[in-house]
Structures are given as structure tokens and as C-alpha cells.
Amino acid sequence: MSHPLPEVARHHGRLEHFIDGQFVAGEAARVLPVVNPATAEEIAEVPLATAAEVDRALSAAAGVFDEWRETPPNLRVQPLYRLKVLLEEHYEEIARVLVQEHGKVIDEARGSVRRTIDNLEFACGIPSLLMGHTLEDGAAGGIDEEVLRQPLGVCAMAAPFNFPAMVPFWFWPVAVACGNTFVVKPSEQVPITQSRIFSLIAEAGFPPGVVNMIHGDRETVEQLLADPRVRAFSFVGSTPVARALYAGAARNGKRVQCQGGAKNFLAVMPDADLAACVPNMVSSFFGNAGQRCLAGAVLVPVGREAGAVVGELVQAARQIRLGYGLDERAQMGPVTGRRQYERVRGHIERGCAEGAEILLDGRDPQVPGYPRGCFIGPTVFDRVTPEMALAREEVFGPVVAVVRAATLEDAIALANTSRFGNAASIYTASGRAAREFKYRVQAGNVGINLGIAAPMAYFPFGGQKDSFFGDLHGQGRDGVDFFTDRKVVISRWI
Amino acid sequence: MDLAAPEGASGELTSFGMLFTHAVALETRAAALAGQAVAQAAAGAEKAGLEGCAGLHRRRVADLERLRRERLNEVVLQPVAGMARERYVFPETLPAEARASAGVLGQVEEILARFYEDGARAAGAWAGLERVFRRYAAESRAQAARLP
């Protein structure tokens, strides 16, 4: 029997929207259950916003925009500082709520809450980050030229299910610090964490309407995209949706950044220190049950000794203990929900049908105490060819495809055939090989002897090809650029 | 709301979360045992030393909790191996006599030093944690040497 950490609440009730500084009960007839993927218990209900509720949120955000943008930057960040203190105080509680609705293990949840706070801290630096620049006599003698950064207006985002706390914080804190107002739409699969965070946002002292949250689904997103008051839109999710939203937002004249799916390659050179890199690869492939856009998906052993790395990976993967993420003994939780469970199983079955050699089969694992959970164990396929779906399509689960390469050049070429370009890693003792890899591989986030190349809040979160649609990424200075317009002023005083 | 860790879990420590939870449990218990020894000791240098020992463990509880909150992120996460909880168990109570109690506290410090030395090895991929654990191990070894 397991010994899980206590849940914050067994059931979180019916969630509410946060509009104009108030929590409001949803009027919708459409209400979805939120289900703990480890226990299969319903743990909350989420109302999907009506068109009128979305409109109220946008009206609130638009109505307060002038007041907020006229608030000096050093004062705009004060509620962010207060929110940081509140998040620190409620850190463990938020992490446990996150585990309960998402399924990831508690350490992963704690780490993602930390990254949530990191993004808030970055936004607190906006008085420096927002500075423009000036050139005396820049246009001609006696005529100066300067660049000002100004906020856009109402901005909005739709969040994915895999990081319920963190991903909204890639966007809204920096947007709001820049002087914009914001509407957040959490994933309807995992809305509890963000609701809990918004109860802290309500205490942080933002003027009503500056930050709003509406629960919803595709219809909600379509309304946000169509509304002319929304000036910028951010999204993280699957590639087909990212591509469609990018096109839709552009059609409606909005600034847009859409992060899509991934198929990340981990190349292991013959000189790699396996004792050091295998545990790291395990974390990359199986951490968060593989539901990370930065997760390793394809293992590419380079050279003739491929068997050693594959053998050690399988051996390590066998040791992974599955369980409810609130049990600190668990090293991997369930995937998030029945639909995701069926989807990942489908990929495994297709891999078998396509002729890949399954070395470790994670279907139907036994997880004592959680017979109804959406658990899929670590799964490793060897002898995958580049043409197989396992090597090309995003699984978003704990499934590894081993594709062997004779040389580093072959490994890079293999990675570059992917339509995705989110992340890629190399394990090697050779600086030359590492340099060649980072120079040539077509991926927005590159790891060297590191399987999860997750940029910190002050760096942009990269992504290329079908993994990102837009110009400016989330996080870092890209975020400041995305959420501001640059205005050039040329002045002459006579 | 009680967000405390559960009691009675046993077996291998297989994650950073378990390492931290066990470290906090050990330090909390060490502070309590040192506090009992303070109550038994006569006034003087020995009592002051025991008070210092209790204070050290109370500070470590706070520092460990802050370390977990502030430094744990996904880049450093990976499985932990080679840490059997049974190797790091304290005596339930102290003897009634003060000098014997100090001796038991010395054993407690040795156990803590062993825990942090093993933990530093297990946490090798997370350099920040390894450094802190090595410092704690050295402190506990020194503390053990000071106790009778």
C-alpha cells in the first residue's frame, strides 16, 4: 500500500471564472468533470464559459487598460512582487493540487511551480527591461531620435494540459508588467491549479480587470481569436492546433506566438559516459510520463556499440516505480486522462504493427492501489526505422524509439528530417562533436549532456519548424518584444 | 491545513523529494533529541554545546525546506539510487543519564553524516545539492567529535 502525501482537498467543487477582479460562477449549461488520472476519481467540475462571459472578461480587460498602462512600471510590478510572496507561501499546496489533477510526480510538480515563480521574478524586472533607447542628434544636428516601448492592449492565451501552473506564467506576468491587460484560458483538463493560483492573484492587489481567467474549450479560444479587442494571442499545444490558431490570429490581424508539438532526438556518441548520461536520459524520456514538449522521444545511439546504451536504458527504465504522484516513492505518474492513455497505447500498438522490436512494453502495468489509473509504463522500441510513425510522430507519452546511426553526421541528418524542431540533445565527451551538433541540428532548444534543455525564464523558449509558429518566443526578452510595440520619436525643439 | 509528510514509510529513497523529506524528518528528530539532552544537562559549557547542536538541526530543517522550494527544477531531476532508508534510523529515546545521552547524540550525528555523504553521492548530478549535503556531513562529523 502506498503512503501518499495528503491531498489539499478531496474535491475542489465547481470552479469559477475570474473576471474583473471577482470570482464568478459560470452560467454555462456545459460543465466538464475534472478527473484525477491516478485514482480516476472526479475531483472538480469546470464550467465552460458562455460567449457572454468571455465578452465580460474582455470588456473588463479593455476597460482597465488605459488606467493600467498609465500606472508607472515600478508600480505595476508591485502586485507581481506580492504574488511572488503568496506563491512562495503556497508553493507546496499548489504543487500537490497540480499532482492531483495532472498526475506528474511531486518533485516534477514542485519544479514546475518553481519555474512558475521564476517567470514572475523575471517580469518584476520590467522597469529595466522596458527601457527604450535614445540617440542625440540621431536624425540630424539638433534633431534627436528615440525608441519607446508601449503596451499593446488586451492580450490572451490558451494553455496546454502538461504544465498547469507554469505555462500561463510564460506570458501573462511579462505582458501585464509591460502595461497590457490579460485573459488566461487554462486547459479544461487541468483547470484546478490555475484556479488556485488565481485565488492568490485576487489577493495580490491588481486593479480589477488587469488579469482575468475564463474556463473554456475550443469555442472559447475561437471567440478570443475573433474578438478585435484582443491584440496578441499566445498558445502552447499540439502542432495542428498551433498551426490553425496561428493562421486564424494572423487573419484577424493579431500578433501571435503558437508553440506546437515535438519529436526530440537524443544522440549518444560512443565516448559518452553512460553511467552519467543514462539516468539523465531516463528523466528526459520518462519524466512527466513523457508529456513534455522537451521530452526525449528518439534515442540515436551513434556507432557500432549501440547495444550498450540501449541495454542500460532498458535496464534503468525497468526500475522506474509507477504510482500516484503524491507518493514520493513514485518516479513516474499516469498520463493525463483516458484520452491521452488511449492515444499513447495506440502509438505503441502501431509501433508493434509496423515491425519495431519492443524491448520493454509499458502497456497494462500493475500499479498496486490504483487499478483504475491511466498508467502506461516505460516503453522502449528498438530497430525503429526513420520511416516508421514511431520515429516521425509525436507520441507525448513514455515511449522511446531507438533509431541507430553510423556517424554523428547521420544522427544530425536524421534529426533534421523531422518536421518538428523543438529540442535535441547530444551526450558526448567531445567538444568538437558537441559543437558540430549544436551548430547543425535544427532545433530551438539544444542540450549537451542534458536531456531536458528547458530554458530558464530569462531565456526565450525556442522552437523551430512545426514546433513553433511565430517570430517571438515565450519567456525572456522575446516576451518583452512580443508584448510591446516600439514607437520611434524624432524630435526637434525650435 | 496539514501538509506534513506521512509517517511510517519505509524502503528505498528513490527521488529527490524522498531525500529531502527524509532529511527533514531526521533533522527534526535530531533537534528534538538534542533538546531533550539540553533539559538533562547541568548548566555550563556542555549544556551550551547541546543547545548549539539543537539550534543547528532546527536551522537545517528551515534551510532544507527552502532549498527544496527554491532550487528544485526539472533540469536537475533524475532517479536516485543506493539510499536505503533503514541505514539512517535514529534511536527512539535518550537514556535517562545526561552523559549517556550525549553519547547517543554522537551516534545521531554519525548517522546524519553517513546519510549526507551517501546522499551527496546519490545527488551527484545536482551539484548544488551535493555541495550542501557534503557541508552538512562535515558539520555532523565535527559535531560528533565534540560530543562525549
Q: Are residues A233 and A282 in the same domain?
A: no
C-alpha to C-alpha distance for A210 and A434, rounded to whole angstroms: 45
C-alpha to C-alpha distance for B38 and B106, rounded to whole angstroms: 14
Q: Are residues A124 and A237 in the same domain?
A: yes
**B105 in a structural domain:** yes
C-alpha to C-alpha distance for A8 and A249, rounded to whole angstroms: 38
Q: Are residues A177 and A289 in the same domain?
A: no
CA A428 to chain centre: 28
* Cβ pair B69:A110 closer than 8 A: yes
- Sole residue written with cell 558540430: A436
User: Number of H helices and number of E strands within chain A?
Assistant: 18, 22
Encoded amino acid at A300, one letter: V
- What pLDDT is attached to residue A158? 98
**A3 in a structural domain:** no
CA distances for A363 relative to A129, A262, A348, B4, B34, angstroms: 49, 22, 8, 34, 50
Residue A384: pLDDT band (50, 70, 90) is very high
Work out the average pLDDT over A206-228: 97
Q: Is A51 exposed, middle or buried (0-12, 13-18, 19+ CB in 10 A)?
A: exposed
Helix axes A408-417, A431-440, angle to 10 degrees: 20
Closest CA to A91 of A15, A175, A165: A165
**B72 in a structural domain:** yes
**A4 in a structural domain:** no
Number of domains in chain B: 1
**ipTM of the complex in this document:** 0.74
pLDDT at A193 over 70: yes
Q: What is the pLDDT of residues A145-192, one digit of tens each?
A: 999 999 999 999 999 999 999 999 999 999 999 999 999 999 999 999
Number of domains in chain A: 2
Helix axes B45-71, B98-122, angle to 10 degrees: 20
Q: What is the pLDDT of residues A79-96, one digit of tens each?
A: 999 999 999 999 999 999
pLDDT at A493 over 80: yes
* Cβ pair A329:B125 closer than 8 A: no
C-alpha to C-alpha distance for A47 and A186, rounded to whole angstroms: 12
**B7 in a structural domain:** no
**Which of A4, A115, A319 has the CB atom closest to B73's CB atom?**
A115
**A455 in a structural domain:** no
Q: With contacts defined as CB-CB under 8 Å, which chain A residues touch B3?
A: 5-6, 8, 92-93, 96
A:B CB pairs within 8 Å: 92
CB A38 within 8 A of CB A334: yes
* Cβ pair A5:B6 closer than 8 A: yes
Helix axes A78-89, A106-124, angle to 10 degrees: 160
* Cβ pair A107:B16 closer than 8 A: yes
Which one of A8, A85, A89, A107 would you mutate to disrupt binding with B, by most B Cβ within 10 Å of its Cβ?
A107
Q: With contacts defined as CB-CB under 8 Å, which chain B residues touch A320?
A: 79
Range of the domain at B28: 16-146
Residue A30, number of CB atoms within 10 A of its CB: 14
Measure B137 CA to nearest chain A CA, in Å: 23
Measure B101 CA to nearest chain A CA, in Å: 33
Taking only residues 313 to 372 of chain A, the set having a beta carbon closer than 8 angstroms to any beta carbon of chain B reads 316, 319-321, 328-331
Chain A, nearest residue to B125 by Cα: A276
Q: Are residues A178 and A143 in the same domain?
A: yes
First-to-last alpha carbon distance for chain B, in angstroms, is: 41
**A461 in a structural domain:** no
CA distances for B63 relative to A9, A352, B111, B147, angstroms: 28, 49, 19, 24
Cα angle A470, A49, A344 (rounded to 5 degrees) comes to 60
* Cβ pair A114:B73 closer than 8 A: yes
pLDDT at A393 over 80: yes
DSSP H helical ranges for A45-105: 51-63, 65-69, 73-76, 78-89, 91-102
CA distances for A300 relative to A297, A387, A426, angstroms: 10, 15, 9
Measure A415 CA to nearest chain B CA, in Å: 22
User: Number of H helices and number of E strands within chain B?
Assistant: 4, 0
C-alpha to C-alpha distance for A94 and A96, rounded to whole angstroms: 5
Determine contact: B28 vs chain A, CB below 8 A: no
CB B37 within 8 A of CB A67: no
Q: Are residues A274 and A254 in the same domain?
A: no
Closest CA to A230 of A214, A206, A243, A241: A214
* Cβ pair A107:B6 closer than 8 A: no
* Cβ pair B78:A280 closer than 8 A: yes
Q: Are residues A205 and A143 in the same domain?
A: yes
**Which of B3, B18, B74 has the CB atom closest to A329's CB atom?**
B18
pLDDT at A370 over 60: yes
Q: Are residues A95 and A209 in the same domain?
A: yes
- What pLDDT is attached to residue B5? 40
Q: Are residues A129 and A187 in the same domain?
A: yes
Q: Which residues contact A350 (CB under 8 A, 6 or more apart)?
A: A389, A390
**B46 in a structural domain:** yes
Catalytic residues of A: 293
Encoded amino acid at A267, one letter: A
**A67 in a structural domain:** yes
C-alpha to C-alpha distance for A51 and A226, rounded to whole angstroms: 12
**B139 in a structural domain:** yes
- What pLDDT is attached to residue B127? 82
Range of the domain at A202: 16-260+467-492
Three-state DSSP class for A361?
A: coil
Domain of B61, CATH number, reads: 1.20.1260
In chain A, what percentage of residues exceed pLDDT 90?
97
C-alpha to C-alpha distance for A26 and A14, rounded to whole angstroms: 9
C-alpha to C-alpha distance for A299 and A316, rounded to whole angstroms: 14
CB A160 within 8 A of CB A167: yes
Chain B, nearest residue to A6 by Cα: B3
Q: With contacts defined as CB-CB under 8 Å, which chain A residues touch B125?
A: 276, 279-280
- What pLDDT is attached to residue B10? 57
C-alpha to C-alpha distance for B116 and A259, rounded to whole angstroms: 42
* Cβ pair A105:B15 closer than 8 A: yes
CB B91 within 8 A of CB B109: no
Q: Are residues A47 and A181 in the same domain?
A: yes
C-alpha to C-alpha distance for A48 and A27, rounded to whole angstroms: 9
Work out the average pLDDT over A373-377: 98
**A69 in a structural domain:** yes
CB A391 within 8 A of CB A384: yes
pLDDT at A459 over 80: yes
CA distances for B3 relative to A8, A356, A369, A376, B102, angstroms: 8, 46, 22, 29, 33
Measure B115 CA to nearest chain A CA, in Å: 18
**B87 in a structural domain:** yes
Chain A, nearest residue to B72 by Cα: A111
**A119 in a structural domain:** yes
Q: With contacts defined as CB-CB under 8 Å, which chain A residues touch B8?
A: 3
CB A34 within 8 A of CB A14: no
Chain B, nearest residue to A283 by Cα: B78
Grid cell digits, residue A431 = 567538444
Which one of A10, A100, A110, A273 would you mutate to disrupt binding with B, by most B Cβ within 10 Å of its Cβ?
A110
Q: Comparing A60-74, A237-251, A387-401, B30-44, which segment has the lowest mean pLDDT?
A: B30-44
CB A295 within 8 A of CB A266: no
Domain of A282, CATH number, reads: 3.40.309.10
Domain of A210, CATH number, reads: 3.40.605.10
**A398 in a structural domain:** yes
Which one of B12, B75, B80, B85 would you mutate to disrupt binding with A, by most A Cβ within 10 Å of its Cβ?
B75
Taking only residues 116 to 145 of chain B, the set having a beta carbon closer than 8 angstroms to any beta carbon of chain A reads 125
pLDDT, averaged per 10 consecutive residues of chain B (148 residues), comes to: 42 86 94 89 81 94 92 79 88 76 88 95 84 95 86
**Which of A93, A319, A452 has the CB atom closest to B74's CB atom?**
A452
Taking only residues 2 to 21 of chain B, the set having a beta carbon closer than 8 angstroms to any beta carbon of chain A reads 2-6, 8-9, 11-12, 14-18, 21
C-alpha to C-alpha distance for A437 and A283, rounded to whole angstroms: 21
Q: With contacts defined as CB-CB under 8 Å, which chain B residues touch A5?
A: 3, 5-6
Q: With contacts defined as CB-CB under 8 Å, which chain B residues touch A88?
A: 69
Measure B102 CA to nearest chain A CA, in Å: 33
- Sole residue written with cell 469559477: A16
Taking only residues 45 to 74 of chain B, the set having a beta carbon closer than 8 angstroms to any beta carbon of chain A reads 68-74
Q: Which residues contact A160 (CB under 8 A, 6 or more apart)?
A: A167, A187, A236, A237
C-alpha to C-alpha distance for A183 and B116, rounded to whole angstroms: 46
Closest CA to A392 of A350, A441, A341, A345: A350
Q: Which residues contact A104 (CB under 8 A, 6 or more apart)?
A: A98, A112, A288, A289, A291, A325, A333
First-to-last alpha carbon distance for chain A, in angstroms, is: 83
Q: What is the pLDDT of residues A38-55, one digit of tens each?
A: 999 999 999 999 999 999
